[in-house]
């Protein structure tokens, strides 16, 4: 199993922030939404396009390319044109630092 990747200090990752980290050579987007950290593969399942920077609301992140929405808690596609989920990662906070790890 891969080691956890340090994302940063909680203080630097406030509500609404988005950050990219590399986990096992793959880009992962970490989102702070309603006090929770969510980590998803930074790649839309519709086409090859990053999710980083997409609008976040109602627990979903929107792909800016064609507007598909993915649930932050599960990675499931909730609106077309995407139908497949995006890969999820686990997040944890330890001593004020956010970490991401493959599930």
Q: Could you tell me which stretch among 7-15, 28-36, 39-47, 93-101 binds ligand FES (CB under 6 A)?
A: 39-47
How many residues are recorded in the chain?
103
CB 43 to ligand FES: min, Å = 9
Give dist(CA 37, CA 8) in Å, integer: 12
Give the number of other CB atoms < 10 A from CB of residue 92. 11
Q: Which of residues 41-100 bind ligand FES (CB under 6 A)?
A: 44, 46-47, 49, 63, 65-68, 81-82
Nearer to ligand FES, 8 or 50 (CB): 50
CB 79 to ligand FES: min, Å = 9
Give dist(CA 89, CA 100) in Å, integer: 7
Give the number of other CB atoms < 10 A from CB of residue 24. 11
Nearer to ligand FES, 26 or 47 (CB): 47
Structure tokens, 70: 């993915």
Residue ranges in contact with ligand FES by CB under 6 A: 44, 46-47, 49, 63, 65-68, 81-82
């Amino acid at each position: 199993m891969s080691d956890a990747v340090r994302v940063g200090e909680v203080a630097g990752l406030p509500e609404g922030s988005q950050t990219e980290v590399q986990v096992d050579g793959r880009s992962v987007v970490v989102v702070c939404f309603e006090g929770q950290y969510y980590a998803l593969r930074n790649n839309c399942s519709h086409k090859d396009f990053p999710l980083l920077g997409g609008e976040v609301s109602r627990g979903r992140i929107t792909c800016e390319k064609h507007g598909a929405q993915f649930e932050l808690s599960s990675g499931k596609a909730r609106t077309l044109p995407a139908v497949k989920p995006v890969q999820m990662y686990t997040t944890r906070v330890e001593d004020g630092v956010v970490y991401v790890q493959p599930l």
